[in-house]
Amino acid sequence: MAESDTEKERYLYVLGTEHGEKFFNSGRALSSVLNRNATLRKKLNEKFGDRYRTVRDYYLPRKGLVVIDDVSPLVPELVAAAAEAAEGEEK
């Protein structure tokens, strides 16, 4: 989304920002994250080479390009359903 060639505002809608912020600021290897998407991995590699090693390295210069918007207050039913699903996974 951050690499999209558009003048439009970019929004990432999430249920709570804690997990997203933790992920984007993590030291996780970018190559590991891109391992499941060969097309995206190839495009980013062609554009940047090995300039970005971690998710945080890639995210920080683009932090202002995408608004991370918490929609939890707008969809409390979905928040409750996600919490129930997480509890089910723990069992």
pLDDT of residue 68: 92
Residue 71: what pLDDT? 93
Dig out the tokens for 24 from the structure: 């984007």
Spell out, as residue ranges, where the chain has pLDDT lower than 70: 91
Q: Give the CA count within 13 Å in the CB-facing half-sphere of 81.
A: 6
Determine the pLDDT at residue 90: 74
* CA-based torsion, 13, 14, 16, 17: positive or negative: negative
pLDDT value of residue 82: 84
Entry field: residues in the chain: 91
Q: What is the pLDDT of residue 91?
A: 67
